Structure 1
């Protein structure tokens, strides 16, 4: 004898047919209150619930999720508002600074006070060449004057871009960016200051090793660096004119 498969009933609806039909006719249960009451679904608690109860449960879950997302958005908006006020106050003070030293002091006070970070450095490249017996770098609080060639040798590709670079950096690089510190800096946000040519660097440091990383946004640093890059040239010109005075007095003696 030859085995023969039982013929399938052509009129029987499959589960897929029912799903497709209900998707095509979402209003099917309208007016089917008796049917809705007889339909049951398993619940997390183990008991069966009606389709209406299940729908109410889903609506409540969606409501709670939307409330949570709304709360997060409100908190982000408040954080951005506080950041904007701090940034506006800092930029106003930077614009009003009359010397590079005053500018660096204002930045240092704001970064450590308003923003709660551990260190800030405004690093400018000395014009011309330094004397052979002179120190290659000099720090005056948050203002650090360095030889450009030394910075290029030590920092390399970190000076090539225009956007902020965030990370832990090498120990010698951190020491170069934040000299004369008793407590070492663990992570850094560094942005080159350009106005045509490379004028210097602006660096912010934290003692937390993971505070600054590559995924961090840099909008605030971009705003600040753009402002500094436009304010620095006249201040640097005045700075270079004032510095040689003491040298000329010493040479005349």
Structure 2
């Protein structure tokens, strides 16, 4: 669209009118005065709906065009979702990089320090790093099945486990992520990293666990090996 046409359209929009927004007559009037608009802005044709033949006649071209447009819209939406995921992954990668740098610069490799650094780096409302041997009998029993196949757990956790890991820091309606850690290259699970969010779906079973796995690997490298 030329600058003159754009300026004229903007100027007409700015004129006071008794009706809110453009009317159908305004659009028709504008198109009559600018018959070359679609030549200057051919992308507008992608969104125009043209009438088909009167029933009961059917137009193959008309229906093909409708299907192609519908497919194009679905592909555009899928690309938008992929772009969103890519942006979220880029943010997560940046956070993991920052977390790794902070861990490398820290001399105190205690569980308390790891808890603090996790809370300062990631968007969580509570974080705990617990030695597996320090868990009470009730919690250990609840987690026994998960520890047999310790893929990071996301979602709700049993009340006994939540109370022992988080205490008052996480309400009953909150959600958690549990990560099994083998500290210092140990061949057995030594710690559980627990992350909590107040939102019920802050951690949920539908989300991926790739970045939680990486947090677990960094935690395993940070924590000292257990004493024999």
Is 2:65 aligned against 1:74? no
C-alpha displacement at 1:125, in angstroms? 4.8
Gaps in structure 1 of 5+ consecutive residues: 1-41, 127-145, 238-253
Q: Give TM-score, length-normalised by structure 1.
A: 0.58
Higher helix proportion (structure 1 or 2) = 2
C-alpha spacing 1:51/1:221, structure 2 compared with 1 (3 Å): same
Report the Cα distance in structure 1 between the residues aligned to 2:97 and 2:203, rounded to whole angstroms. Answer: 22
- Matching residue of 2:127: 120
Q: Give TM-score, length-normalised by structure 2.
A: 0.63
Please provide the CA RMSD for this pair: 3.0
C-alpha displacement at 1:48, in angstroms? 4.2
Specify the structure having the higher radius of gyration (Cα): 1
Report the Cα distance in structure 1 between the residues aligned to 2:189 and 2:120, rounded to whole angstroms. Answer: 25
Is 2:118 aligned against 1:107? yes
C-alpha spacing 1:190/1:57, structure 2 compared with 1 (3 Å): same
C-alpha spacing 1:202/1:45, structure 2 compared with 1 (3 Å): farther
Q: Is the 8 A contact 1:187 1:211 kept in 2?
A: yes
SS in 1 for 2:204: coil
- Matching residue of 1:50: 59
Report the Cα distance in structure 2 between the residues aligned to 1:125 and 1:50, rounded to whole angstroms. Answer: 69
- Matching residue of 2:190: 199
Is 2:53 aligned against 1:62? no
Q: Is the 8 A contact 1:174 1:185 kept in 2?
A: no
Gaps in structure 2 of 5+ consecutive residues: 1-50
Q: Larger deviation: 72-81 or 44-53?
A: 44-53
Query: RCO (CA 8 Å, sep 6+): is it higher in 1 or 2?
Result: 2
Is 2:167 aligned against 1:176? no
Report the Cα distance in structure 2 between the residues aligned to 1:84 and 1:182, rounded to whole angstroms. Answer: 26
- Matching residue of 2:46: none
Q: Is the 8 A contact 2:162 2:170 kept in 1?
A: no
C-alpha displacement at 1:159, in angstroms? 2.9
Higher strand proportion (structure 1 or 2) = 1
- Matching residue of 1:97: 106
C-alpha displacement at 1:184, in angstroms? 4.8
- Matching residue of 1:34: none
Q: Larger deviation: 155-164 or 165-174?
A: 155-164
C-alpha displacement at 1:62, in angstroms? 2.1
**Superposed counterparts of 1:185-196, under 5 Å:** 186-194=174-182, 195-196=186-187
Report the Cα distance in structure 2 between the residues aligned to 1:73 and 1:182, rounded to whole angstroms. Answer: 33
Q: Larger deviation: 147-156 or 177-186?
A: 147-156
SS in 1 for 2:189: strand
SS in 2 for 1:198: coil
